[in-house]
C-alpha cells in the first residue's frame, strides 16, 4: 500500500489512470493493519503504466531510422496544440492549491546575507516542464486511486481530498524519444501533443489554478522569498546498523566493553512478554525511500536559466536526481499565513515584460554589490 506522510495532505507522486480496466477484486496483497514503525516505499505501484517494458522493435535499416527521426521532428516541432481557446487564468485567494514543478538537483553553492552570514543553497534546475494533463475531480474520484483515497488504513480513516480541489494536474519533465517507451505510455501525451516525458508528477489543484495542458512551466512559477516543499527519493545507503539507522547510542569503545560497540543491546523486556515486539528497531536498509523535505526557502531565482536556489543541502538524492517542488503546506510559511499569493499566479505564461534575468531576495547580498561594511 502506498502512503506518504506529509503535512496531512493526500497522496502524491501517483499517477491517476482511468484507461486501464483494473479489476477491483484481488488487488490487495497485504492487510490494512500494519504495525511497522518505519515504512519505506521503494517500488512503483502496480497500476502504473508500464513505461519501458516494451517488446523489442523489429530491426529497421539506417535509412528508415533516419526517416523515423524526421517523422518525429515533424510531429513534435512547432507550437503545441492550441485548438481550444486558452483556459482562463484565475486569481489567488486563500486556500488555493496550485501545481508544482519537477526540478533537477544540480549542486550546491553558498550565498551570503546582507549581515555577512553564509547560507548554503541547493540549485534546482527546472528544465523542460510541461503540464501534461488535467483530470477533473469527478473523473478522479471514480478512478481506482480516487476510491483508494477513501479507504481507511493504519494511519487513519480515508484521506479524501479537500472540497475545493477541482482536479489533479499532471506535470512532466525531460522530453525524450518516444521510441524508448511503450505505446501505452506514449498514449498519455497524445492529448496534449507533447513529447513523452521521462518524469511525471501529480498535484491536486483548485479551480482557479488550473493550467491548460501543454503550458510550459519554469522556475519563474515561484516567487523569491517563498517557502517550498521538495518531494523526492533519498540517497540509498544500503544495509546499515542501528546507530546510523535509528540513532542508537552504542556502547563505549573502551572500559572493558566486549565486542559490543555499535550493537543494539537489549531487544526485549524478559519473562512477562517473552517475545520481541513487532516493530523492534533493528539494522536494515536505509535510504532510497520517498520523503518530503518541507519549508525550504527560495532565496534566488535565475529566470533566464530557470534555476531555483533553495535553503540548505538537504534536498533528497544525489546531484542529477529529479524532485518535485511545490508551495509549502507548513502553517507558518504558506501563502495564507503570509496573507498574499504568489507573484505570478497560477504560473508565468512568458508574457511578463518585467521579468529580470536574476532575482534575489532582499536579504541576500548580490555579488555585484560592494563588500559588506558595518560602519
Partner 1 sequence: MMMQKCSLVASLGLKHSSRISITPVRLLSTSKVINSDKEDSKPPINYEKLSRRDYRYIFPEFLPDPNPQFRNTFCEKLQRRDMITRRDKIEIPEFYVGSSMAVTVSDSCSPHPNKLSRFVGMCIDRGGSGLQAWFILRNVVESQGVEFMYQMYSPTVAKIEVLRLEKRMDDELYYLRDAPQEYSTIPFDMEPEILPEESPVPVNKTIVKLNPRPWLRNWEQMTGFLHGLEITDAWTTPGKIRRQERAFAEGSLQWHQQTLQFDLMRDYRNTIPVEEQDQLWEEVGEKLEDRDKQMRKVAAKRAFVRPVKKL
- d(CA 220, CA 223) in angstroms, rounded, equals 7
Task: For residue 26, give Cα distances in angstroms to 1, 21, 22.
Answer: 13, 14, 10
| Residue from 200, 307, 315, 325 binding partner 1 (CB under 8 A) | 307
Q: Give min distance, CB of 126 to partner 1, in A.
A: 12
The reply to whether 47 sits near partner 1 by the rule CB under 8 A is no
The helix/strand count (H/E) of the chain reads as: 6, 13
For residue 173, which phi and psi values (nearest 5 degrees)? -135, 155
Query: Which residues in the 243-272 window bind partner 1 by CB under 8 A?
Result: none
Q: What are the grid coordinates assigned to 190, written together?
A: 497524445
Give strand pairing partners of 173: 129, 199
Whose cell is 523492534? That residue is 280
Give strand pairing partners of 231: 292, 324
Cis amide bond preceding 346, omega within 30 = yes
| Residue from 66, 320, 350, 356 binding partner 1 (CB under 8 A) | 320
> Are 81 and 133 in contact, with CB atoms under 8 Å apart?
no
Query: Based on CB atoms, which residue is closest to partner 1, 11 or 308?
Result: 308
Query: Based on CB atoms, which residue is closest to partner 1, 28 or 117?
Result: 117
Q: Give min distance, CB of 100 to partner 1, in A.
A: 21
The reply to whether 374 sits near partner 1 by the rule CB under 8 A is yes
| Residue from 5, 91, 109, 260 binding partner 1 (CB under 8 A) | 109
Q: Give min distance, CB of 198 to partner 1, in A.
A: 17
The reply to whether 106 sits near partner 1 by the rule CB under 8 A is yes
Q: Which stretch binds partner 1 (CB under 8 A): 38-46, 56-64, 326-334, 362-370?
A: 362-370
The reply to whether 29 sits near partner 1 by the rule CB under 8 A is no
In the three-class reduction of DSSP (H, G, I as helix; E, B as strand; rest coil), residue 335 is classed as helix
Q: Which stretch binds partner 1 (CB under 8 A): 102-110, 174-182, 204-212, 285-293?
A: 102-110
The reply to whether 368 sits near partner 1 by the rule CB under 8 A is yes
CA angle 50, 54, 55 (to 5 degrees): 145
For residue 64, which phi and psi values (nearest 5 degrees)? -65, -35
> Are 51 and 182 in contact, with CB atoms under 8 Å apart?
yes
| Residue from 246, 289, 305, 363 binding partner 1 (CB under 8 A) | 305
- d(CA 243, CA 262) in angstroms, rounded, equals 7
- d(CA 78, CA 308) in angstroms, rounded, equals 28
| Residue from 57, 255, 351, 367 binding partner 1 (CB under 8 A) | 367
The reply to whether 158 sits near partner 1 by the rule CB under 8 A is no
Q: Give min distance, CB of 368 to partner 1, in A.
A: 5
The reply to whether 304 sits near partner 1 by the rule CB under 8 A is no
Which phi-psi region, left, alpha or beta, contains residue 238 (left: φ > 0; alpha: ψ -120 to 50)?
Answer: left
> Are 19 and 47 in contact, with CB atoms under 8 Å apart?
no
The reply to whether 92 sits near partner 1 by the rule CB under 8 A is no
Query: Based on CB atoms, which residue is closest to partner 1, 122 or 192?
Result: 122
Query: Which residues in the 113-152 window bind partner 1 by CB under 8 A?
Result: 116, 118, 123, 125
Interface residue list for partner 1 (CB under 8 A):
106-107, 109-110, 112, 116, 118, 123, 125, 302, 305, 307, 318-320, 365, 367-375
Amino acid at each position: 500500500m502506498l502512503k506518504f506522510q506529509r503535512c496531512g495532505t493526500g497522496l502524491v507522486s501517483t499517477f491517476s489512470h482511468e484507461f486501464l480496466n483494473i479489476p477491483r477484486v484481488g488487488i490487495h496483497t497485504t492487510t490494512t493493519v500494519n504495525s511497522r514503525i518505519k515504512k519505506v516505499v521503494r517500488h512503483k505501484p502496480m497500476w502504473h503504466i508500464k513505461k519501458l517494458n516494451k517488446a523489442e522493435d523489429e530491426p529497421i535499416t539506417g535509412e528508415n531510422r533516419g526517416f523515423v527521426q524526421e517523422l518525429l521532428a515533424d510531429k513534435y516541432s512547432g507550437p503545441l496544440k492550441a485548438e481550444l481557446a486558452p483556459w482562463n487564468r484565475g486569481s489567488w485567494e486563500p486556500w488555493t492549491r496550485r501545481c508544482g514543478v519537477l526540478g533537477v538537483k544540480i549542486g550546491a553553492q553558498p550565498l551570503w546575507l546582507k549581515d555577512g552570514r553564509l547560507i548554503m543553497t541547493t540549485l534546482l534546475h527546472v528544465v523542460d516542464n510541461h503540464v501534461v494533463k488535467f483530470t477533473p475531480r469527478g473523473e478522479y474520484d471514480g478512478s481506482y486511486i480516487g476510491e483508494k483515497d477513501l479507504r481507511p488504513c493504519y494511519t487513519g480513516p480515508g484521506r479524501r481530498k479537500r472540497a475545493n480541489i477541482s482536479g489533479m494536474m499532471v506535470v512532466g519533465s525531460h522530453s525524450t524519444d518516444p521510441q524508448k517507451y511503450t505505446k501505452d505510455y506514449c498514449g498519455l501525451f497524445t492529448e496534449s501533443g507533447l513529447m513523452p516525458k521521462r518524469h511525471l508528477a501529480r498535484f491536486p489543484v483548485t479551480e482557479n489554478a488550473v493550467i491548460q495542458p501543454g503550458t510550459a512551466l519554469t522556475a519563474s512559477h515561484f516567487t523569491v522569498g517563498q517557502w517550498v516543499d521538495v518531494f523526492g527519493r533519498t540517497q540509498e545507503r544500503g544495509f546499515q546498523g542501528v546507530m546510523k539507522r535509528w540513532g542508537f547510542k552504542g556502547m563505549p569503545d573502551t572500559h572493558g566493553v566486549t565486542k559490543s560497540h555499535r550493537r543494539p543491546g537489549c531487544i526485549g523486556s524478559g519473562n512477562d512478554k517473552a517475545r520481541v515486539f513487532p516493530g523492534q528497531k533493528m539494522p536494515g536498509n536505509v535510504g532510497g525511500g520517498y520523503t518530503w523535505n518541507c519549508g525550504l526557502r527560495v532565496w534566488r531565482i535565475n529566470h533566464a536559466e530557470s534555476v531555483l536556489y533553495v535553503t540548505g543541502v538537504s534536498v533528497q538524492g544525489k546531484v542529477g536526481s529529479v524532485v518535485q517542488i511545490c508551495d509549502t503546506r507548513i502553517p507558518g510559511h504558506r501563502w495564507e499565513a503570509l496573507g498574499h499569493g504568489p507573484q505570478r499566479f497560477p504560473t508565468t505564461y512568458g508574457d511578463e515584460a518585467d521579468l529580470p534575468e536574476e532575482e534575489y531576495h532582499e536579504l541576500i547580498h548580490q555579488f555585484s554589490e560592494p563588500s559588506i561594511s558595518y560602519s
